[in-house]
Structure 1
């Protein structure tokens, strides 16, 4: 590869990365992104593949719309392929490593920049494909820019979906096969196989496209054998060996991907052939072909030509492309027919809340490649930018071609700018009001704006309406927030970097088709392009991380996460009932916690479902301490089934408010596995001779500092009790200094003594959180009751007049 080309590729990648960074929202748009991010997070932080952090999504829609599937033990797993999470893993790890240096960056926000890198690399690879087919570097640059800025690849560069990776991997497969056809070197087949493997591991349905690529490879091999039939006729063994090596180079990565998927399915669902899709609940290939085809290609709602007008020139370009590159042209045509046909009959062909036909994003680089003959005619005709000897006059046909392509490119650029500037989800919500549907049955949902007569309801037109209403209120730019805050540093540095790279690209273009290396900038200058892109990304991430959408430092949920991570132990788990705040731990927890803490995210009512009950039971057996977080819910809220379930199974240590969030610590029964009930048979009396008997206690005999210690008290009411008595349990030093305590109403606040029946035994489950660096030794464990409404002394007394009951000695090691 020439220095000239390498320099141009750097400029293209850096230019696109800056554009994508400046137009990134820094937030999720669609819950599908959340599912994929949860998988990425689990893999990197814990080496797991569950998405329990968003378990609540399993019960928000119909079975056909949920994003995951339950495993045999009730855990939630994403239906998404593992490749996007695995490939983005190093990027997530890098962001986490930076955050662990006490640099305040949002890991979620930084991860949303990943597909911008992937899409920029796809544009660069498209350039290489063009040069491999015999076109100039300047044509390659134009194709890369058209793909990166004038198709739906741009909006999806700012989403955390798998489609951008599918586009890159499929194009890599195409490039490998095309290069192998020319060179015959097996390493290019291996590259093609790797691309195919990643594509299948991203979306299993892409196996259909891989089959098309395999047929193309067989055609290449057949053509080569036919051309050399006279020479090879006497060398059958050598030919067979060559075919075997070629098949191995292409097939080995696919076999590895297949093995990965089988293992992935087995880990998730206990069956290597179960993918998690709910075909029995309405998902599947059930849409009439023409309905889906019309919707994906022509309809105002999702039609590809509405969302990427540039591609209107693709059929024209295809005719010219086919004349010069028949094999590759047929391959692209069959790939198009296969993928468009596949998703035309998919039950949700429109892709849910999305921008344009997101399932067709993987085809966009191929469709832009088909424009190469048109671009070549411009480059070799009148479009000789930077050349003083441009020939005149310009032929009329070329003038028309130039105007046609330029007009479509500008229109496409404007459409993509609308898509990334204004939050299209706002208009999707409006469409649901214009075209109402049965919210109780999303499977019956009919996509709106399907007729051409409904053109005014197209999301493209909708973006214009939102822009006219209020850019600030509908902004989808991280540097322009809805609250009026403008991140000026991001904008200034970004525009400065963009201007610099545009100038450098113009200088690169002016060097001509055969530049001399001595006319290029020095190598330090050439390497500034990636540094500029990194500077813009760092500035964007630094300023975007202050978005109040992700909480304020040392307040609310973030303060809770800081405390959890500061005290985290390997046997800890976090249960959150904050379904509208899932993004806060996703953004900060990875950088705060030295180790991954399993997070189980539920909505208040989710414990009504047997899968959630099964998981909660497993948590009680697998972890020693539970951190429980709620948002906007008071203690013992009647709708909070999760907290009620914890009260029945776990041992409560404390309960604190952090603004509108609560943090509760629980111990699990694990520490009591080897402990037995110790009989006490000690009763306590009020001043009115109301009597409560403590029959037994159960507690671990030995603990360590910083651990949480569960304690069970078996008691009964001997007489009716009128007052609202409360328990206290304390751990004391030899000098009667309190080192840990808990104060609670019966049943962790779900009952009152005045409501309890007489003569029935109850078990009170409490826990003591031991302080850090608690000195080893012997400590007294005591318990008692008091009436907060009675005058002091308000504690109940034993027959000997003591205001507490000694429960035993606890050894701290």
Structure 2
């Protein structure tokens, strides 16, 4: 290899920045703003809870336990996304979901620019290094994964930085380089626990260098090896625990023969099958095979490390769900891509025709990155429930490979970009200004990159500032236009989503509980602003529910009746109607909204002494005599039926009345919010409800009045007859 360039010159760093900005603009041009799997929604849930509560929680996907279970996920990726979420939560005209979905475009662009800088150490020309970065960023399946919210791109960047740190250590052993190895290895594990497979490989590489230089005694090396082994076993134990396996099963797996039929099947599937072959989904990797010999001669130890890491990962995947679920290509091999693609630089150095392969790979990935690949898998799984491990392994059925199907179906029915897609009615949704604006950003960034690579402009500080500004403007423009082009979903149209979030924003709710059984209604949750936190329940959820909402925190329940599919959330509604204090209810955009507050009522119980002519009698009640505006007044009302039977669905009203006639309305609803099926004579029931006191309520003394209404008529009280009973005077103070 020839054409050496000095390491880390200002020109090279500026080219790396230009590469990152150019790729980022390409990725925003093909941005979709949608999730395709429950794993992505789970990571979004962890991101939201970290940004909102300072802790990791999966309340947003609690429903998944009843429909599509999700195990514990690593904390690293949500921690990277949390600042983007926090920023979006405080800005209008931006979806929080769209903001975090910019993370993978950013990480993938940084990975490509890191490849460019790292490959300076391999003594190849600048043009070959640019080709290497573009082969990864535009010629591999890294590009389609920029449209996801999965953690593999972050793990890939960490693995690349980890090996770069080792390469520095191998060139000149020192404590700083060693600390970098430890840091990036730790980050890799935090991004994806399966990164523990890299630890023994790194230990061997570091140990070999120290032993060769005789810098460390053999006993110390053995001790280091034992520590790495212990950490690896601990990490593997965590992985097995996620799969519900025990430590004994872990040991048995480690000691078992890896060359079982199941292992060969997994390796064939990941490397050579029409369903998941990494070479089929990233054809540019074929150039790596051609350049492997030259790369081995130039970098033998690094080549050994990459091969060893590949082998350990493949061995680890043989016992896992190696196909990665409903994802595009071999998802679990994605972190390896930045390392596997390194030999491509040697091919660009010697073979001009290799650039043609890069162009063809770019065209292929462009088709993938503008299409809805999940619809392809949806069709396949409808016909073959276990496609990846049955039909997808048979080359005689090559025409049913996802790659072939996607290319054959590419067109208006399958376009999937936020500014160009097909609507529910089959109409093409096109935002010309978004396409032109992002296309202009691509042209500007590509022009600057070309000028820098050709040395036609010198590195200047203003150029770096300009490129960074272009990236920031592109990101802001993408988020704004994606919000404008918020995609409809059947029975969850854009206007419905915005109407729901507007209603919640106008309410005192600080928590939202979404009751639905359809994953794909999730986009509206990305429009929530401010401190509101969300949880998502299945209609099959049996509780407990008390931990969903902190005591005294107002919350709103959004019931998606359309997507409950006829299943009644009986257990949840029983808790809501009998254990919480509901203070409002109604319908918005076809969805039922119910607001309540939980927690104990601190007020002391008082005798009721009120009765109605149809049989209900108030025995006792509990309510605070003083409350500040901007809070919910809690009422506990104990009734007994003094007739043979009382009507359980008669509407009860609870209002606050000021002397001048000002009324603060409460929640008018049947006893126990309709939960009571029948009310025989002599039965005592407890009814809980609340009255929301708006923050702008005038301070002063109010009287709590309650009464019943049936068929639009007040039911009179006994002695004296009245439309309502006055219970207690309540003082409202300023907030």
Task: Note whether the superposition's TM-score is higher than 0.5.
Answer: yes
- Per-residue deviation, 1:697: 1.3
Kindly indicate whether residue 548 of structure 2 is the aligned counterpart of residue 587 of structure 1: no
- Per-residue deviation, 1:420: 0.8
Matching residue within 616, 630, 645 for 2:559: 630
- Per-residue deviation, 1:745: 1.5
Kindly indicate whether residue 396 of structure 2 is the aligned counterpart of residue 479 of structure 1: no
Equivalences for 1:685-764 in 2 at 5 Å?
A: 685=613, 690-719=614-643, 720-721=645-646, 725-751=650-676, 755-764=678-687
Equivalences for 1:359-378 in 2 at 5 Å?
A: 359-378=332-351
Kindly indicate whether residue 53 of structure 2 is the aligned counterpart of residue 42 of structure 1: no
- Per-residue deviation, 1:90: 2.6
Equivalences for 1:553-592 in 2 at 5 Å?
A: 556-568=496-508, 572-580=510-518, 583-589=522-528, 592=529
My pick for the range that moved more, 167-176 or 549-558, is: 549-558
**What is the CA–CA distance in structure 2 between the aligned matches of 1:186 and 1:136, rounded to whole Å?**
30
Match of 1:640 in 2: 569
- Per-residue deviation, 1:287: 8.2
Kindly indicate whether residue 653 of structure 2 is the aligned counterpart of residue 679 of structure 1: no
**What is the CA–CA distance in structure 1 between the aligned matches of 2:647 and 2:267, rounded to whole Å?**
72
- Per-residue deviation, 1:115: 0.8
**What is the CA–CA distance in structure 1 between the aligned matches of 2:261 and 2:588, rounded to whole Å?**
49
My pick for the range that moved more, 546-555 or 15-24, is: 546-555
Deviations 1:228-254 (A, max 9, x none): xxxxxxxxxxx679x89x989xx99x9
- Per-residue deviation, 1:522: 4.5
**What is the CA–CA distance in structure 2 between the aligned matches of 1:547 and 1:632, rounded to whole Å?**
26
Q: Are the structure 2 counterparts of residues 321 and 301 from structure 1 closer, same or farther at C-alpha, using a change threshold of 3 Å?
A: same
Match of 1:93 in 2: 86
**What is the CA–CA distance in structure 2 between the aligned matches of 1:456 and 1:28, rounded to whole Å?**
27
Matching residue within 595, 599, 612 for 2:534: 599
Match of 1:528 in 2: 466
Match of 2:727 in 1: 807
**What is the CA–CA distance in structure 1 between the aligned matches of 2:240 and 2:546, rounded to whole Å?**
25
| Matched positions, count | 703
**What is the CA–CA distance in structure 2 between the aligned matches of 1:142 and 1:683, rounded to whole Å?**
85
Q: Is the 8 A contact 1:95 1:107 kept in 2?
A: yes
Matching residue within 366, 374, 381 for 1:417: 366
- Per-residue deviation, 1:667: 2.6
What SS does the corresponding residue of 1:292 show, helix, strand or coil? helix
Q: Are the structure 2 counterparts of residues 303 and 327 from structure 1 closer, same or farther at C-alpha, using a change threshold of 3 Å?
A: same
**What is the CA–CA distance in structure 1 between the aligned matches of 2:309 and 2:646, rounded to whole Å?**
78
Deviations 1:299-321 (A, max 9, x none): 00001111111112323322221
Deviations 1:19-44 (A, max 9, x none): 11111211112221111111111111
Q: Is the 8 A contact 2:646 2:680 kept in 1?
A: no
Q: Are the structure 2 counterparts of residues 626 and 186 from structure 1 closer, same or farther at C-alpha, using a change threshold of 3 Å?
A: same
**What is the CA–CA distance in structure 2 between the aligned matches of 1:377 and 1:173, rounded to whole Å?**
28
Q: Is the 8 A contact 2:273 2:392 kept in 1?
A: yes
Kindly indicate whether residue 171 of structure 2 is the aligned counterpart of residue 147 of structure 1: no
Match of 1:787 in 2: 710
What SS does the corresponding residue of 2:49 show, helix, strand or coil? helix
Equivalences for 1:25-104 in 2 at 5 Å?
A: 25-61=32-68, 66-68=69-71, 79-97=72-90, 99=91, 103-104=92-93
Q: Is the 8 A contact 2:652 2:669 kept in 1?
A: yes
Kindly indicate whether residue 432 of structure 2 is the aligned counterpart of residue 488 of structure 1: yes
Q: Are the structure 2 counterparts of residues 638 and 355 from structure 1 closer, same or farther at C-alpha, using a change threshold of 3 Å?
A: closer
**What is the CA–CA distance in structure 1 between the aligned matches of 2:82 and 2:550, rounded to whole Å?**
30
Q: Which runs of 5+ in 2 are unaligned?
A: 1-7, 254-259
- Per-residue deviation, 1:122: 0.8
**What is the CA–CA distance in structure 2 between the aligned matches of 1:735 and 1:189, rounded to whole Å?**
78
Q: Is the 8 A contact 2:414 2:421 kept in 1?
A: no
What SS does the corresponding residue of 2:297 show, helix, strand or coil? helix
- Per-residue deviation, 1:198: 0.8
Q: Is the 8 A contact 1:579 1:601 kept in 2?
A: no
After TM superposition, the score normalised by the length of structure 1 is 0.80
Q: Is the 8 A contact 2:128 2:346 kept in 1?
A: no
Deviations 1:469-526 (A, max 9, x none): xx23211211102132212122112222222333333333333xxx9xxx52654245
Equivalences for 1:429-468 in 2 at 5 Å?
A: 429-436=378-385, 446-467=389-410
Match of 2:318 in 1: 344
Match of 1:388 in 2: none
Q: Are the structure 2 counterparts of residues 638 and 766 from structure 1 closer, same or farther at C-alpha, using a change threshold of 3 Å?
A: farther
Q: Is the 8 A contact 2:194 2:239 kept in 1?
A: no
Match of 2:176 in 1: 187
- Per-residue deviation, 1:406: 3.6
Q: Are the structure 2 counterparts of residues 273 and 7 from structure 1 closer, same or farther at C-alpha, using a change threshold of 3 Å?
A: closer
- Per-residue deviation, 1:634: 12
Q: Are the structure 2 counterparts of residues 549 and 579 from structure 1 closer, same or farther at C-alpha, using a change threshold of 3 Å?
A: farther
Q: Is the 8 A contact 1:681 1:695 kept in 2?
A: yes
Q: Are the structure 2 counterparts of residues 175 and 659 from structure 1 closer, same or farther at C-alpha, using a change threshold of 3 Å?
A: same
What SS does the corresponding residue of 1:372 show, helix, strand or coil? helix
Match of 2:690 in 1: 767
Kindly indicate whether residue 327 of structure 2 is the aligned counterpart of residue 354 of structure 1: yes
Match of 1:9 in 2: 16
Matching residue within 78, 83, 104 for 1:115: 104
Equivalences for 1:382-401 in 2 at 5 Å?
A: none
Q: Is the 8 A contact 2:499 2:589 kept in 1?
A: no
After TM superposition, the score normalised by the length of structure 2 is 0.88
Deviations 1:727-780 (A, max 9, x none): 11111113343123221112212346xx42111111222211112133333321
Q: Is the 8 A contact 1:620 1:649 kept in 2?
A: no
Deviations 1:346-382 (A, max 9, x none): 1x1111111110100111111110223222224xxxx
Q: Are the structure 2 counterparts of residues 811 and 638 from structure 1 closer, same or farther at C-alpha, using a change threshold of 3 Å?
A: farther
Kindly indicate whether residue 600 of structure 2 is the aligned counterpart of residue 657 of structure 1: no
Q: Is the 8 A contact 1:300 1:306 kept in 2?
A: yes
**What is the CA–CA distance in structure 1 between the aligned matches of 2:420 and 2:323, rounded to whole Å?**
29
What SS does the corresponding residue of 1:622 show, helix, strand or coil? coil
Kindly indicate whether residue 294 of structure 2 is the aligned counterpart of residue 331 of structure 1: no
Q: Which runs of 5+ in 1 are unaligned?
A: 69-78, 227-238, 266-271, 379-401, 438-443, 608-612
Q: Are the structure 2 counterparts of residues 521 and 445 from structure 1 closer, same or farther at C-alpha, using a change threshold of 3 Å?
A: closer
My pick for the range that moved more, 617-626 or 797-806, is: 617-626
- Per-residue deviation, 1:457: 0.9
The Cα RMSD (Å) is: 3.2
Q: Are the structure 2 counterparts of residues 739 and 586 from structure 1 closer, same or farther at C-alpha, using a change threshold of 3 Å?
A: closer
- Per-residue deviation, 1:175: 0.3
Q: Is the 8 A contact 2:419 2:431 kept in 1?
A: yes
